[in-house]
């Protein structure tokens, strides 16, 4: 019961500053850019091939990787600022067994991240649906496609939020956490692929495409497990370090 | 750095925690609250480590420096978050905002608060769970005279009800008005502790032409002697009778031997003055507990 109270407190922390609105504004902007691309964009040959089939439209609106990156930034900032503003101190005074407090923080960030992913996908789909009548193509995605994209994006963004939260716990400085996140999610994966070519199927972008149903490099279960592992590693290290480190 | 610090804070008393900047007051409080770890020793509250307390938020109210607020969050939401986490009824939020005089500013962002308002919000947070123990680090910082008076009244009232109040401050005159007991740190070491009234009355003023000899005698008796002008000494830790007896036995001539009741400020400067001849015992005392 106490732990659920901590999750509720963490959710209230996330919803009582302007940060979520800033992220929602980013999602609205991305959906607007997507609509613009649908109306005015073309492939290299000048055609509108990128929206000509249901599969093309599904690829266009697959938001899982975007959701993962955006939610990871959200998680990193949300957690690192807790240390920056020392607002983690009252949290650890309420629950001095810090692993419980940190887990509550991760769960709250995960829920918020999943929500951002869901909203991001929904907005993108709506934008595409609104923009398509301006072209010669109709909205062709099935309900199954829509549900899969929403679920995939929510899942990917939730894992991304936990990745960010874990890194925010370790780095504790907002700028540093964002920089570390860029290294972990954007710089390290291509380098790893350069070193071990098989890694290309296991980097976040590839896994997000698999769970969205727009790629099949690995099986769905393997992709879901691998994404969960991406989140678990920084989260477990973060809990371990937070439990032992002096807070102030 | 804190070293060999042992003391007990008793319920029903206000204990002032004094020391110059960097003396180790905040570090000691953070160790007590399990926010920082000690290489050796334990700090307990009611015989238990902070992290072992069954319901710490209802047991200990805390104000720490620096204040921990998100500047973009309202004062009311700051308290709501703590109420959520601690499982306190939401009515306590409004109640505490009224107690500390922030009801009208409760929905403003904390970033717009003055330092005194932030300090009031910290105090409201500390009182939210109506805890029997208060650990307050410089709670008077930034408060106006009225705020300081209200703080003093709240703390005195809670102590009178049997609560344990442990409060650090650099406002010596305020501590003099507020505290029953004091604990004094200097450079991470305990230099004085006990009843403020007794500490203020335990000094003896001595004039003697053999000041050096008398200092050696008093040192061997476990006292502290501070040289004053010409032939005078200010002695602590040895009773006035014992000073007379020891001087007589050593054949030291005394020209004056009189009780001296120093102000807390005088005592503080004396306790923390590095030029003092410090001959107090280094033996650890009781475990710190409340």
Residue where the block lists tokens 């009781």: B286
A74 close to B58: Cβ distance less than 8 angstroms: no
CB atoms within 10 A of CB A15: 13
In this predicted structure, what is the pLDDT of residue B43?
Answer: 94
Residues of A in contact with B86 (CB under 8 A): 5, 94
Indicate yes or no: CB of B87 within 8 angstroms of CB of A5: yes
- B205 touches A: beta carbon within 8 Å: no
Give the residue from chain B lying closest to A104, CA to CA.
B85
pLDDT of A232 strictly over 70: yes
Query: Which residue among A85, A95, A248 sits closest to B70, beta carbon to beta carbon?
Result: A85
CB atoms within 10 A of CB B270: 17
A171 close to A180: Cβ distance less than 8 angstroms: yes
pLDDT of B287 strictly over 60: no
pLDDT of B277 strictly over 80: no
What's the pTM value of the predicted model, to 2 decimals? 0.85
- B118 touches A: beta carbon within 8 Å: no
Mean pLDDT for the stretch of residues A69-74: 98
Residue where the block lists tokens 């009311």: B76
pLDDT of B91 strictly over 50: yes
Residue where the block lists tokens 């991470």: B188
CATH class of B14-197: alpha beta
Q: Residue A89, class by beta-carbon neighbours within 10 Å (0-12 exposed, 13-18 middle, 19+ buried)? A: buried
H or E, element range at A113: helix A98-131
Please indicate whether residue B225 or residue A98 has the higher confidence score (pLDDT).
A98
Q: Is the ipTM of this complex over 0.90?
A: yes
- List the beta bridge partners of residue B203: B260
> Residue A86 gets which letter from DSSP?
T
Give the residue from chain A lying closest to B56, CA to CA.
A94
Instruction: Give the best residue of B2, B68, B71 to mutate against chain A (max A CB count within 10 A).
Output: B68
Q: B248-263: per-residue pLDDT in tens?
A: 999 999 999 988 776 7
Indicate yes or no: CB of A9 within 8 angstroms of CB of B34: no
pLDDT of A229 strictly over 80: yes
- Give percent of chain B with pLDDT exceeding 70: 93
Mean pLDDT for all residues in chain B? 87
- The CA-based diameter of chain B, rounded to the nearest angstrom, is 73
- A245 touches B: beta carbon within 8 Å: no
Residues of A in contact with B77 (CB under 8 A): 12, 16
pLDDT of B280 strictly over 80: no
- A172 touches B: beta carbon within 8 Å: no
Distance CA B216, CA B209 (A): 14
Distance CA A155, CA A24 (A): 18
- Given the DSSP bridges, would you call strands B133-137 and B164-168 parallel, antiparallel or unpaired? parallel
Instruction: Give the best residue of A21, A96, A247 to mutate against chain B (max B CB count within 10 A).
Output: A96
Mean pLDDT for the stretch of residues B76-99: 96
Lowest-pLDDT choice from A146-160, A165-179, B204-218: B204-218
Residues of A in contact with B67 (CB under 8 A): 86
Report, at the CATH architecture level, how domain B202-271 is classified: 2-Layer Sandwich (3.30)
Q: A126-146: per-residue pLDDT in tens?
A: 999 999 999 999 999 999 999
Which residues does B85 contact at the CB level (< 8 Å), separation at least 6?
A5, A6, A8, A9, A90, A91, A94, A95, B57
- List the beta bridge partners of residue A33: none
Q: A31-52: per-residue pLDDT in tens?
A: 999 999 999 999 999 899 999 9
Give the residue from chain B lying closest to A247, CA to CA.
B35
- Give percent of chain A with pLDDT exceeding 90: 97
Which of A:72-101 have CB within 8 Å of B? 81, 85-97
Domain boundaries, chain B: 14-197, 202-271
Give the residue from chain B lying closest to A5, CA to CA.
B85
- B81 touches A: beta carbon within 8 Å: yes
Sheet of B232-236, strand order:
B224-227, B232-236, B203-207, B256-260
How close B71 gets to chain A, by Cα (Å)? 8
How close A243 gets to chain B, by Cα (Å)? 10
- Phi, psi for residue A37 in degrees, rounded to 5: -65, -40
How close A89 gets to chain B, by Cα (Å)? 7
Lowest-pLDDT choice from A162-171, B211-220, B257-266: B257-266
For chain B, where are the E strands, in sequence order? 14-18, 60-63, 133-137, 164-168, 181-186, 189-195, 203-207, 224-227, 232-236, 256-260
In this predicted structure, what is the pLDDT of residue B283?
Answer: 37
């Amino acid at each position: 019961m106490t732990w659920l109270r901590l999750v509720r407190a963490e959710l209230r922390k996330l919803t009582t500053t302007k940060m979520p609105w800033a992220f929602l504004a980013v999602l609205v902007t991305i959906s607007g850019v997507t609509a613009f691309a649908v109306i005015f964009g073309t492939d290299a040959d000048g055609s509108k091939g990128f929206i000509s089939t249901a599969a093309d439209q599904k690829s266009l609106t697959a938001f899982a990787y975007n959701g993962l990156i955006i939610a990871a930034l959200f998680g990193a900032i949300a957690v690192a600022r807790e240390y920056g503003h020392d607002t983690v101190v009252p949290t650890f005074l309420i629950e001095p067994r810090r692993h419980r407090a940190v887990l509550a923080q991760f769960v709250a960030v995960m829920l918020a991240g999943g929500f951002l992913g869901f909203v991001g996908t929904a907005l993108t789909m709506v934008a595409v649906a609104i923009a398509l009548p301006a072209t010669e193509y109709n909205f062709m995605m099935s309900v199954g496609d829509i549900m899969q994209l929403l679920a995939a994006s929510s899942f990917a963004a939730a894992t991304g939020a936990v990745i960010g939260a874990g890194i925010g716990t370790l780095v504790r400085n907002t700028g540093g956490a964002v920089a570390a996140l860029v290294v972990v999610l954007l710089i390290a994966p291509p380098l790893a692929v350069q070193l071990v070519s098989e890694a290309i199927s296991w980097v976040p972008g590839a896994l997000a495409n698999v769970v969205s149903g727009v790629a099949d490099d690995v099986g769905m279960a393997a992709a879901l497990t691998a994404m969960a592992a991406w989140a678990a590693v920084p989260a477990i290290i973060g809990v371990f370090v937070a439990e032992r480190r002096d807070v102030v | 750095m804190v070293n060999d610090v042992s003391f007990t804070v008793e319920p029903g008393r206000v204990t002032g925690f004094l020391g110059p900047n960097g003396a180790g007051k905040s570090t000691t409080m953070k160790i007590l609250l399990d926010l920082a770890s000690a290489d050796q020793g334990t700090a307990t509250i009611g015989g238990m480590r902070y992290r072992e307390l069954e319901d710490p938020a209802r047991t200990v109210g805390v104000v720490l420096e620096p204040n921990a607020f998100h500047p973009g969050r309202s004062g009311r939401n700051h308290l709501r978050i703590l109420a959520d986490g601690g499982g306190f009824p939401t009515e306590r939020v409004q109640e505490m905002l009224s107690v500390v005089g922030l009801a009208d500013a409760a929905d403003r962002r904390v970033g717009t608060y003055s330092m005194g308002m932030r300090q009031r919000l910290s105090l409201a947070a500390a009182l939210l769970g109506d805890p029997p123990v208060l650990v307050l680090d410089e709670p008077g910082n930034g408060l106006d005279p009225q705020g300081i008076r209200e703080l003093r009244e709240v703390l005195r009232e809670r102590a009178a009800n049997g609560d344990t109040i442990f409060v650090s401050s650099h406002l010596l005159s305020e501590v003099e008005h507020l505290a029953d007991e004091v604990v004094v740190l200097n450079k991470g070491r305990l230099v004085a502790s006990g009843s403020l009234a007794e500490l203020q009355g335990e000094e003896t003023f001595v004039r003697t032409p053999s000041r050096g000899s008398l200092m050696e005698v008093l040192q061997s008796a476990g006292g502290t002697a501070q040289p004053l002008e010409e032939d005078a000494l200010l002695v602590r830790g040895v009773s006035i009778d014992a000073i007379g007896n020891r001087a007589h036995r050593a054949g030291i001539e005394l020209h004056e031997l009189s009780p001296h009741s120093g102000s807390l400020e005088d005592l503080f400067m004396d306790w923390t003055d590095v030029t003092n001849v410090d001959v107090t015992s280094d033996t650890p005392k009781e475990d710190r507990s409340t």
